[in-house]
Structures are given as structure tokens and as C-alpha cells.
Amino acid sequence: MNYEFRDDEFWKQIPAWKDVTREEFGDHKWQLKNSVTKVAKIADMFDGTLPAELIADIEEGQVQTPMNVRITPYIFALIDWSNPYKDPLLKQFLPLGSQFLPNHPYHMDDSLHEDVDSPVPLLTHRYPDKVLFLPTTVCPVYCSYCTRSRLVGGTTDTKNKETYGANVKNWEPAFEYLRNHPEVEDVVISGGDAFMLKASLIKILGETLLDIPNIRRIRFATKGVAIFPQKILTDEDWMEALTDVHKKAVSMGKAAVIHTHFSSPNEITKWSQLAMDRLHGMGMIVRNQAVLQEGVNNSYEEMHKLVKQLSYINIQPYYVYQHDMVPGCEHFRTTVGEACRLESKIRGTTAGFNMPLIICDLPEGGGKRPIHSYFYYDEEIGISAWRAPLVKEGKVFYYYDPIVKLKPEIQDKWNDETLRDQMVEDFKKKAAEVMEAKDAYEKEVLKDSGVAEQA
């Protein structure tokens, strides 16, 4: 495996930045100030040398995507602009109109039912001891595959959003809820992105949560380590706030960690390694949560490289998510079968604690389940059935593979409403029979062994 991470002045391939020094490029303020937020500017940045068809395709992508454009110069310059149609970073952050596919008929804006399972504003409470807290809807980049496209970033041609910035006053109901729910021990601070919270807000948020007796663990969920390592290297105020929260957690016997979000090994450079050296040096645990994406990381080679290189720079690979069934993402999704085969192939290639668990976050709020744990799957028609007894007892959850990956005759059925309804209904009946047979087996056949009771 190659651990000689990229350390060239790759930003100089962009004509507009050909004179930018390493020091300027490495400064977090320069990165924020020069983030690309308008497609119209891209042609000028290349002095008109980018093909007109590519610019038109990027513009068409903006008409179709639910996400705004915002890319740090670091990521923008890592795109291979000589081969943009195959580039995994361009696909994630600058969607091309020609790549989009019609949404799946069962897609949902809030596919994980985060809003449905929200007891007070900004908080989702699904698992008994864990909550998700969304203090802001702003991010340093906007990812085209975002599962929270319904509320993250600004309004686009396809999506009206009520976005919000960080405001401490609006956080109080969530804090109060946590004080009144002693069973909650674990808070994921996401959004939006914690990287966009000011240093003072990182402190207020971190310290307030740690001061709640029942809260044992907080996680700052941020894509920042992957797309903006310069902040970790040069934003001293922010790092001081993060360090203070981390030290306070450790002094209380609690944990404050970072969950980040590398999806492609092309996001890893010497800058990432230096940023991780700093975080690792202060004792900060960093785990990664990638999203499985067609053409980005769905091959053994790319996933293996991602896992090995993350491990090398002390990021635990932790999770790979099967893509959620949200709008504007059909071209990113893979089938459950592909994910299972990838999981089988990659498992065993490195130590277990660095082996990501490939999971499906079940539509309608069933929570995260290992990709092999469906109880019934018809790969030909692309439907899997799942249960999550401790999260929502008795409910069956369904995940639907992308139609474009199915055989042409099955695609025809999906595209005909009557045939589709019949096919889905038949699947659900069959799944119910399989579930009943499994339950009967566990009750009757395993009862003497005691296995059923243990399970």
C-alpha cells in the first residue's frame, strides 16, 4: 500500500490559483474566503480552458440537485480536471446533469425519519441511549449525496429549505430534554457540520453537554477533517476550544471524539496526515463514516485503499453506509447485493477494529443494521426486508435497490405502476411468510437448546 501521501502544489493546476503559495493555501481563512460557491465562476477560474460541454453539464447539475454548491479550494483543486467525468470528487461535490437518474418511486425526503423521531426541535431520539443533535444546517462543503438535503444548505431549484445557523438560544429545549432523560448517554453533534461552529460555540455546546450528568459520550460529526484539514492546522482559537472540551471530557471520565467522513482515498493527502497527527497527538479519537457510492468507492480496490490509508493516519474506518433513499441520489446508489459482496471481499484484509461495518440505515427509522442482516432479499427485483426489534418492534422495513441496476425486464415492471404495485405486494407477502417461518423455527426448533431465549 502506498503511504506516500500527495504533497505537491496541486492547486496550481487551477489557473486562478497558479500563484498561490503553500502558506496561503494552508491558511484556513484563505480556504474559507476562496471556497467555490458559484458555478458561474468556474469557467473564469480556468481562464476559459474548460470544455464548454463540461461547464454546461455542471450548470445542468445545479438545476437537478437538491444541494447548493460549496467546495473548499482544497477539494476543488484535488479534482482531476483532465478527466472530470471519472473523478470521484467531482461526482460528490459538483454533480453533472448527465449523471442524474429519476428518483426511485419509494424515495423519501426524510428517509431515516429523523423528523418523525424528533421529540423537540433539533433533536432525534431513536435508540434508547443515544440522540442526534443538529445545531446548524451550514457546512464547509455541500455534498451532492447528503442524506439531509431536505434541510442542509440553502434552497435550490428542486428544494425549498428552512435552513438555520447556530443560535445558542435555540439549543436550550434540546439541553432540557437531555437533562430530563437520564437514559440518554450519547450525543452525536451533526447538522450541518460542527466545523462551522465558532470556537465559542464549540465550547458552550461541548461543556453544556458534558455537564449533564447522564451524558457520557459526545461526538462531533464533521466532514472537516476530510475536506478542510487546514482548519485543524491553522485555526488556533477553534483548536483551543476543541482541546478544552476534549480535556474536560477526559478529566470527567467521559469521551469527546470526532466522527469524520472520508469517502474516497483521493481526499487523503499530506495535509490530512498532518491534521491527523495534530488530533492524534492531543489524544483525540477520530472515526470515519463513509457512504458507499457508485463510481466513488464501490470497488474492492478503492474501498481497500480507503480503509488502509485511513488506518495509517489513525482514523478508524468504523462505518460504510449503504446510500439512503433520498432524492437526487439515484446515480450514487448501489444494490444491497453489491454491498454484501464488497463486505465479504474486504473483511479479513486488515485487523478487525479497522474493518468498517457496512450498514444499511433502514428507511423509516429502523436504525443501522449490518448489510447482511436482512431477513429476506429478492435481488432480482431489488427489494430487501429487515427488522429492528429493539428500535421499532413488529415493524418491517424495506430497502429498494436502484432500478437502473436491475435486469431490463424487471426495470420495465418498476416503470409500470400497476405491475410495480403487484410486484411489491407479492414481495411483502413472501417476506411475511419467511418471517413467520423464521419465528416459528426459533420458537419451536431452537427452544430446547435455549438459543432462542438467548437471542
Q: Which residues bind ligand SF4 (CB under 6 A)?
A: 139, 141-143, 146, 148, 152, 191-193, 223
- Taking the complex as a whole, the smallest distance from the CB of residue 192 to ligand SF4 amounts, in Å, to 6
Tell me the longest C-alpha to C-alpha distance in the chain: 76
Q: Is the dihedral of CA 443, 448, 449, 450 positive or negative?
A: positive
Contacts of 386 (CB under 8 A, 6+ apart): 360, 362, 366, 369, 373, 374, 375, 396, 397, 398, 399
Pick from 95, 138, 78: nearest CA to 293: 95
- Taking the complex as a whole, the smallest distance from the CB of residue 345 to ligand SF4 amounts, in Å, to 26
174 neighbors 123 (Cβ within 8 angstroms): yes
Pick from 150, 129, 452: nearest CA to 329: 150
Residue 259 or 387: which CB sits closer to ligand SF4? 259
- Taking the complex as a whole, the smallest distance from the CB of residue 255 to ligand SF4 amounts, in Å, to 22
Residue 153 or 382: which CB sits closer to ligand SF4? 153
Residue 84 or 191: which CB sits closer to ligand SF4? 191
DSSP-assigned letters across all residues of 347-367:
TTSS-GGGSPEEEEEETTTTE
Residue 145 or 386: which CB sits closer to ligand SF4? 145
- Taking the complex as a whole, the smallest distance from the CB of residue 316 to ligand SF4 amounts, in Å, to 19
DSSP H helices in 180-235: 199-211, 224-227, 229-234
Residue 192 or 365: which CB sits closer to ligand SF4? 192
174 neighbors 352 (Cβ within 8 angstroms): no
Residue 135 or 192: which CB sits closer to ligand SF4? 192
Pick from 61, 77, 57: nearest CA to 69: 61
- Taking the complex as a whole, the smallest distance from the CB of residue 347 to ligand SF4 amounts, in Å, to 26
- Taking the complex as a whole, the smallest distance from the CB of residue 38 to ligand SF4 amounts, in Å, to 17
Residue 39 or 252: which CB sits closer to ligand SF4? 39
- Other CB atoms within 10 A of residue 381 CB: 19
- Taking the complex as a whole, the smallest distance from the CB of residue 143 to ligand SF4 amounts, in Å, to 3
